[in-house]
Amino acid sequence: MKAARLRAVLAAVLVGSVAPAVASSGSSGSSGPDRAAGCVTPTTHRTMYVEELAPGPDGSPRLGYGSAPGAASIPGPTIEMVEGECLAITVVNDVPAATLAAMRTDPSLPLGVSLHVHGVKYTPSSDGTVHNQSFVPPGESRTYIWYAAPRVTVANRVVSLGTAGYWWYHDHVVGTDHGTGGVGAGLFGALVVRRPTDPRPDRTFVVPMGPGVSFGLQRHPDMPELVARQGERVEFVVIGLGDGFHTFHLHGHNWADNRTGMLVSAADETALIDNKTVGPADSFGFQVIAGEEVGPGAWMVHCHVQAHSDTGMMTFFRVESNEGGAVPAVSGHEVSGHEHMHHGAHP
């Protein structure tokens, strides 16, 4: 694989999304998983391809999820669902068996990849783990079914919590039976579950914090800026990966410390924050209006663990003016993130 392909793939580490894109699949795949309670039949069908990418700078393997053959990226496509939606995702394993064998820490472990998700409902056959035999061997496919169960209340009492929130998905098989090798190689992505009345953003940026001291395997200056137009509604999804703890900080903007990052009324006294600590497997998200009350400019996004930001765990949220002309680059190395892939049923 050529170096240009590697740069294009890794430029997806921090990316904005504005349009649906994961390919639909009319097939249920080679397996027929059962469904979580409430999911009578899938309302949406998608296909995800797992592929080997060019090695990292240190020669370590890189793997990615993609919405079409040859489209794998790090992170994988952002998946969007609405509470009440039932999604069937057919995963095609195109990673060579030799690659998976070389990444395996225990030769007795089976070869394969998987799709394990946080936050939504599924049965053991869609767990994406070795112990539930819900992985995908090399050259095969498997369908996983996720149900975004809605919140249910009866007489002002919550009887079902619902699933709306900012979550993530990842491999749980490659390298170890916990998927440590898969996550470390790039097999992860964001899942956003909304309620039907939630406002939709103009673009979404996924910010993976880790593995190691990186934003999804990249460091400044070899990572894209996050670019938006002043006044756009911008969504950030932050995911904690690997073994480290990080602190996400966004300059010039703040948000409410709740599910959406937005205040629900004039009387809402939810604390406002611009800084949030992320541990392994944590995820959160929020929406802001780009440049609100501060105008256009290059606003730093970084880990506020000082040693992490000093070693390159940072980039810029660049807000462009609506009055014409782009905001000047903040350094000699300017990389604009390409538009990420967003999908889901929208009522």
**What CATH number is associated with residue 79?**
2.60.40.420
> Is 6 a residue whose pLDDT tops 50?
no
- Residue 172 and residue 313 in one domain: no
Q: Per-residue pLDDT tens for 220-278?
A: 998 899 999 999 999 999 999 999 999 999 999 999 999 999 998 999 999 999 999 99
Q: Give dist(CA 139, CA 261) in Å, integer.
A: 42
**Tokens read off for 271:** 């604390």
User: Can you give the pTM of this predicted structure?
Assistant: 0.86
Nearest to residue 233, comparing CAs of 273, 292, 283, 191?
Answer: 292
Residue 330: exposure state from Cβ atoms within 10 A (0-12, 13-18, ≥19): middle
Give 197's contacts (C-beta < 8 A, 6+ positions apart). Answer: none
Q: Per-residue pLDDT tens for 100-123?
A: 999 999 999 999 999 999 999 999
- Residue 30 and residue 170 in one domain: yes
- Residue 34 and residue 143 in one domain: yes
- Residue 169 and residue 59 in one domain: yes
Which of 194, 211, 244 is the last residue in one of the domains? 194
Q: Give dist(CA 213, CA 219) in Å, integer.
A: 8
- Residue 158 and residue 12 in one domain: yes
Predicted pLDDT at 156: 85
Q: Give dist(CA 125, CA 117) in Å, integer.
A: 12
Q: Give dist(CA 110, CA 113) in Å, integer.
A: 10
Which of 159, 177, 194 is the last residue in one of the domains? 194
- Residue 50 and residue 108 in one domain: yes
How confident is the prediction for the chain on average, in pLDDT?
A: 86
Chain centroid to CA 18: 14
Predicted pLDDT at 322: 82
Structural domain including 245 reads 203-343
- Residue 132 and residue 232 in one domain: no
- Residue 176 and residue 92 in one domain: yes
- Residue 41 and residue 80 in one domain: yes
Name 199's bridge partners. Answer: none
- Residue 128 and residue 253 in one domain: no
Which of 172, 194, 216 is the last residue in one of the domains? 194
303 CB-side CA count, 13 A: 30
- Residue 227 and residue 307 in one domain: yes
- Residue 256 and residue 300 in one domain: yes
Question: What does R_g of the chain's alpha carbons equal in angstroms?
Answer: 20
Looking at mean pLDDT, say which of 70-79, 156-165, 326-335 comes out highest: 70-79
Per-position b or e across 186-197, b if 16+ CB within 10 A of its CB = bbbbbbbbbbee
3-state secondary structure of 221: coil
3-state secondary structure of 298: strand
> Is 300 a residue whose pLDDT tops 60?
yes
Bond from prior residue into 221 cis (ω within 30 degrees of 0): yes
Structural domains counted in the chain? 2
30 CB-side CA count, 13 A: 11
